[in-house]
Structure formats: C-alpha cells, structure tokens
A and B are shown apart, each in its own frame.
Chain A
C-alpha cells in the first residue's frame, strides 16, 4: 500500500512570495490533515478535511493560508504572502475514517515539506 505522498520535499522562498504544497493521501482515506511543525516543537493542526469538507480550520491563519481538497482526494495548501515565521515543516496525514468518541483513528503521515522563508 502506497503511503501519503507530498511534494515538494523542500522549498526556499523570499518573504511576501507565495508557495503551494501538494498532498496525495492513502487511497480510500476519508480524512486528511495538514500540520505545521516549527523546529523544536510538536506538529500543530492547521486544517482537517472529512472527504472534501472542512471539519476544523480554527488554527489556520486565514489571512494568508488557504487549503482545498478537491473531489475528496488530493489536497493543496497555499501560503500567500509568506512571512519569516512560516518557516517550518508542513506535514500531511490521512486516516481511514475521522474519529470516534475516544479520538482519532490512526493517522498516517507523509514525509513533509520543509519550507524556508528568507
């Protein structure tokens, strides 16, 4: 079974530029997550999709970040314009189903995209 795919693996941009990341989840997984991992910290959820609908985007800086999941499969995360503090690893994860009373089902993570904003 193929894992979660992400591209690009690395990206360097200047502040105020825009950037987009792509994620292809494991086939058949209904739930997709984007996390931001700043160096030295644990990942933090940015947005969660259930099929192609947004379930949680409470931590997404909506003035500069946007995300979509067309047809309930692939997803893109965009930053426009980027700031220095956006330098981080952006992780995509997917799960077969969303959640139950006790929390989430196992989430499978992609390799991440390391973004450097100069």
Chain B
C-alpha cells in the first residue's frame, strides 16, 4: 500500500532559526514528490517538485532533498520567518499519477 509518512507532526521554533521536515514514502513506482505549504484557511501552494533523478532543489529559503534509494525526502527552511508558520505537506505521485498525501507537519514560528 502506498503511504507517505511525515515527521514531526508539529514543530515550534523561534524566528530566525532553521528547521528540517521529513517525509518517508513507500509509493512505487515513483513519479515525483512535491512539498506544499498550506496557510490556515487557504489552499496548498507548491514549494518544490522533485523527480527521480533530482537530489536537491531550492526555492528561496526552502531546500528540498530526495533520496530515491531510501525513499526519503526532507524540506529544510533557513532563517525562518513568522510567515513560515503553516502546514507543510509532502505529496508523492506514483506511476498512475494518483497522489498520495502525507498528514503534514504543522510549523509554528514564534517571534
């Protein structure tokens, strides 16, 4: 069964600090992996998309990594800002392009 597990479930950090969110998946075959940011009451917005051959991809202060061998991905946020407070979701698409969602990590950045 295709599954996506995210950790931690929630995270609280101080403004300016870095943090890393984890995503482990069992989706096979693998098509791509996306990290989304969802602000409260809004739809998810894509941060990065990674395919099998990509190991690292950055989008501003967000850097995603992918290890296709161990089926793990991480999202690193550098110099966190208050506006980074949101839910971060890992979505993996398999061969049929049906997405499998992680439960998300809730990040709170305190001033």
Do A and B originate from a single complex?
no
A contact residues vs B (CB 8 Å cutoff)? none
